[in-house]
Chain A
Amino acid sequence: MAEAHPVGFQWVVEAKNRGAKVIHVDPRFTRTSALAHTYLPVRAGADIAFLGGVVNYILSNEKDFREYVLAYTNASMLVSEDFLDTEDLDGLFSGYNPETNTYDQSSWMYAGQEHEGQSHGESHADRETASAQQHESHGPPVPADVPRDPTLKDPRCVYQILKRHYSRYTPEVVERLCGVPQAKFLEVCEAWTANSGRERTTALVYSVGWTQHSVGVQYIRTGAIIQLLLGNMGRPGGGVMALRGHASIQGSTDIPTLFNLLPGYLPMPHYKTHETFRQWVDDIRHPGQKGFWANAESYAVSLMKAYFGDAATAENDWGYGWMPRLTGDHGTYQQVLDMIDGKIKGYFLLGQNPAVGSAHGRAQRLGMANLDWLVVRDLYMIESATFWKNGPEIATGEMSPEECKTEVFFMPAASHAEKEGTFTQTQRMLQWREKAVDPPGDARSELWFFYHLGRIIRERLAGSTRTRDQALLNLTWDYGSGDEPDGEAVLKEINGYDLTTGKLLSTFNEMKPDGSTSGGCWIYTGVFADGVNQANRRKPGREQNYVAPEWGWAWPANRRTLYNRASADPEGNPWSERKKYVWWDADKGEWVGEDVPDFEKKKPPSYRPPEGASGVEAISGDDAFIMQGDGKGWLYVPGGLIDGPMPTHYEPAESMVRNPLYGQQANPTRKVYDRSDNPTNPSPPERHSEVFPYVFSTSRLTEHHTAGGMSRQLAYLSELQPEMFVEVSPELAAERGLEHTGWAHIVTARAAIEAKVLITDRLVPLRIEGRTVHQLWMPYHWGGEGLVTGDSANDLIGITLDPNVLIQESKVGTCDIRPGRRPTGHDLLRYVQDYRERAGLVPGHHTPIVTVEEPDDDGQ
């Protein structure tokens, strides 16, 4: 956190000064570790084993916050008798289909609800479209009336299933798998549990590197299970906090730049399952189920009204026919492969530098080199704009400027200080930003670029009667009269209007399904409440309560802590005076507290829904997790995840360690692109894993920013970290003959890159399964352009994705490291090819998804 989020880390320092204990778990000793009380080195890619060990510690010692767990989680719910665990099936859950590498999820459901489970086909479609991302604002659908055992004794209840699932994740196993000495591991378990309960809460903070694994979603799930068991969710000082990698990354999923989502986590329509408006809306709201999502039609219609204005009418289904449709996986990695295959002709890059910043740099560059046109908007001439003349493939002869047909349009962009708008940070808080200076020269904001691009295209298409042009022609496209569009006009459109009065809406509860309201992102409604830009509020913290509700504005409804009904006990009283946050005031007959209650204001704790109720009415007075179909926090996920209801330790897609817990080596549902240009290093029990004997991880340095477009062009930052380097332990340096500040090169099946060597005590070998495992680390900031240049670490990484959200496994892989510089020119290709051949990655080789024990060389 100190490395990549130094400004945010001030609050950790502040907490430490107030007596908080800081524990840092990381494969390498970083600037964060330097200030932590306790540092634990851990093997990259084994986090579920580590956290699963914590779950086991909690359950086997009964350290869970039992009243909280009983009231607010699904611990007591009974699961189908058909469910079989990975413990029963050697690493697979029940319902696995090896043909599609997906699960039929019927057996994962609660008892009596098996028919609600997803089939193989649905799971497959969900993986193609990363549909789990919809659940960022709400849980997947399940019926509310679930059989329960409040004694938690029934072997089929979630609590017992969880306990059995993690019973093998003992401190010994954590040590064997993660390399963490048992005493240190137990120190973490004790600190975490001792600091949770009625009087105390613990926060879990992770950076988004956690998501960059083939089991990334399940990493975070394991953290969430612990926080639920310990009662740390919905309470002050608790939670699971994701530190984003860039300003407004939260905003870029709320108002998404993702292929599969529309604003406010509405799913992008799919051509087959969402043929009609009604099918689409019903797929979101699930008629008859409980929760706020039942109002989805209002949100959907308001979105269409924001898009198409008067042209959206009840008669034309609010213009639903103009909406684009998904046909499958259009994720960023599929797109790159489609470019290589010539299926995509044009591409926009906005503040993104995939030639350096995305996994498998060579694939990224070869893909872009096979386009007709490419628009790059950035502050500087980045590698993704110059790959056709300066990229590494020019030197190897794979590309030549004369033959590369891609026409690159470079558009200088305004920086964050040169334009107005909002950032949405990790707490879902929008903060308005003024423009400080005019952008230089021809540089312009994104808003300017897209507004005028749209304006010009619409002028060109004016009068067209072709069906395909109608969506563009019917868009509302009015954001002020100046050359630079008015950012507040956009934010107002997002907030939404009452179209009958022209007034801005104050809450999404005012949205209607009859076309009388508009709103570009329902969860953002209220950001312009009372006609005031609430994101622009800057009342100092000392002039308000500690939650500081008048600084900026947070979705939904300016609520700072989600599910804060859980900060009170089932009867509505604070769990303790010390952790008082939101509670039921019986005299007033409403929920009150420091924050905006995340509950219907007037619904008493004693409320129980009438028989047959649905929607908001069906939410019980103690259903703290109101966006979940059953109102409970999920220790066990009966539906909505592709790779299983409970996190299970799988080895990374590339590992030199055989999974000690299961026959199944790696995530059996991971998304693999099995192509000759995307080889995966072999892992046991495949042969030849010894060709790539070391674990590597990549991340950032404080001194640079992502792919370097904003830092390697600046002398004051470049001088602080001037060269690409690789960090190795003294032990690995000795094993490979590496010299401090000398050259080394790192090799995977994709590429070989070179870097200067830093030998440091901060990296240590680990003992995993009785053998010594060396890890090395690289920053990924360098590329060929800028004041300081170097090889790109992302060239080493292949494309294997988490099945739920299609994020690449780029935080762990296997490699070799050798002293000296890498070969150049054509020799480099031959050099890597030689590694591939030694690793058995020859034509006809396929990386097994379901693990198959291979016979030894002598046929055993």
Chain B
Amino acid sequence: MGSNSLYGPVDPAPDAGYTDAPPRMGFFTDTSVCIGCKACEVACKTWNAVPDDGFNLLGQSYDNTGGLSADSWRHVAFIEQPSRGSQAFLGLPTGPSSAPAANVVASQQVVPTGTEPGIPPAVDALAAAATAGTEFVGAGPKFHGAGTGFHGAGPEFLGMPGTDLPGRTDPAPRSDFRWLMMSNVCKHCTHAGCLDVCPTGALFRTEFGTVVVQDDICNGCGYCISGCPYGVIDRREGDGRAWKCTLCYDRLGDGLEPACAKACPTESIQFGELDELRERARARVEKLHAEGVASAQLYGESEDDGVGGDGAFFLLLDEPEVYGLPPDPIVPTRDLPHMWKRAGWAALTMAAAAVVAFAGRRP
């Protein structure tokens, strides 16, 4: 195992030992053209026979899935937020925005997905609440429970420190608005924490550079769950095994594109050779910047990030936190060589000490 295999840029399939591996395949999810139709969620479940995750109204805009889980391998996040420049409601008799407060209510919804650990309590909602108006943080009373009709959903109720909610605080009339949508999925990391810690070999690197769980080998130990820096992989209750996106490994083998990309009507989900997708994505960001969408940014595209780049990366229209994504994901196994080295030295030292001690008994 080369030192590169746990960190930094690498082509994962050859690195995993494939000779003549096909080009690395992946997803480029362009959220700037996502219309939130959720066809990806349905197509994924239909093709992969993933069970439903319960009929729960989450109150988090149009997101009633809540997040990625063992039973949701694609998840469309919906973020309603003020946004400077849109002026959608300029000149109307409006009051303050309800978005932060709605997100707080949504964050308190229990999401019984039938999976373990399932969806962390509304990570996305809280993240969205916290960033709903980073540009707007300012003075003034933050949130009027009675004034906005969110009875009982005040900050005290949340138990958060202070009396102010993070996010937009201006009680001024809301005049600007945008609705972000983003189809999230397993990132198929270059350095996949889940794979690195899997003790049974159930998780493996495919010839396409993707990461797949073999359900007939997985023993449900759950190490992979703590190994994933994105909180993607998850276990199904009753079955106990870990499940996640396979990037439709079975379809790829037959020369078909993954079900979600096939179903996406607006080509928000693009499937293809990763190198080509990265080029396309950079061009797209440039185009959006030229059109004045300054906030457009790529996420997971860089090989120099904490996971060596994602096989499934994104074009976002705001900071990753807004979408509930970790801003700086790092594969937990990054430090393994270092740790092993340390552990090795420690073991050697102990061994040496033991030898010395042992030797010391026989003067």
Contacts and interface: CB of A to CB of B under 8 A. Distances in A.
B80 interface: yes
Most chain B Cβ neighbours within 10 Å, of A31, A702, A719, A761: A761
Interface string A618-647: 000000000000000000000000000000
B356 interface: no
A35 B57 contact: no
Contacts of A720: 38, 41-42, 64-65
Given A7-B265, A10-B266, A31 B92 contact: no
B56 interface: yes
A131 B180 CA distance: 46
A6 B98 CA distance: 27
Interface string B145-182: 01111111100000000000000000000100111110
B95 A731 contact: yes
Contact of B88 (A39, A725, A729, A766): A39
Interface in B57-114: 57, 59, 61-62, 64-65, 80, 82, 86, 88-99, 101-102, 105-106, 109
B320 interface: no
Contacts, number: 172
A7 B265 CA distance: 5
A417 interface: no
Interface string A593-624: 00000000000000000000000000000000
B231 to A, nearest CB: 20
Interface stretch (B17-25, B29-37, B204-212): B29-37
B52 A715 contact: yes
A820 to B, nearest CB: 12
A234 interface: no
B15 interface: no
Contacts of A733: 98, 148-150
A721 B101 contact: no
A740 B265 contact: no
Contact of A9 (B90, B96, B105, B265): B265
A760 B80 contact: yes
Contact of A34 (B94, B101, B179): B179
A179 B92 contact: yes
Interface in B223-270: 265-267
Nearest to A703: B38
Contacts of B97: 730, 761
Given A715-B52, A734-B95, A761 B151 contact: no
A734 B149 contact: yes
A762 B80 contact: yes
A264 interface: no
Given A2-B35, A733-B148, A739-B151, A31 B179 contact: yes
A41 interface: yes
B53 A766 contact: no
B142 interface: no
A399 B343 CA distance: 78
B105 A740 contact: yes
A715 B71 CA distance: 12
Contacts of B95: 730-731, 734
A143 to B, nearest CB: 48
B138 interface: no
Nearest to A756: B57
Contacts of B180: 34
A761 B91 contact: no
Interface string A26-38: 0001011111000
A601 to B, nearest CB: 38
Interface string A80-114: 00000000000000000000000000000000000
B37 A718 contact: no
Contacts of B65: 719-720
A342 to B, nearest CB: 40
Given A702-B36, A716-B46, A720-B41, A767 B178 contact: no
Contacts of B54: 719
Contacts of A181: 90-92
B39 interface: yes
Most chain A Cβ neighbours within 10 Å, of B45, B55, B88, B178: B88
A251 interface: no
A787 interface: yes
Interface string A645-679: 00000000000000000000000000000000000
B92 A767 contact: yes
B55 A6 contact: no
A759 B55 contact: no
A764 interface: yes
A737 B150 contact: no
Interface of A: 2, 6-7, 9-10, 13, 17, 29, 31-35, 39, 41, 179, 181, 183-184, 701-703, 715-723, 725, 729-731, 733-741, 756, 758-762, 764-767, 772, 787-788
11 contacts: A39-B86, A184-B90, A722-B56, A737-B151, A739-B149, A739-B150, A741-B106, A760-B98, A761-B82, A762-B179, A767-B92
Given A31-B36, A719-B53, A720-B42, 13 more contacts: A29-B177, A181-B90, A181-B92, A715-B52, A716-B45, A719-B55, A722-B55, A737-B151, A740-B102, A741-B109, A759-B148, A766-B92, A772-B93
Interface of B: 33, 35-39, 41-42, 45-46, 51-57, 59, 61-62, 64-65, 80, 82, 86, 88-99, 101-102, 105-106, 109, 146-153, 174, 177-181, 265-267
The 4 closest A-B pairs by CB, nearest first: A733-B149, A722-B55, A730-B98, A741-B59
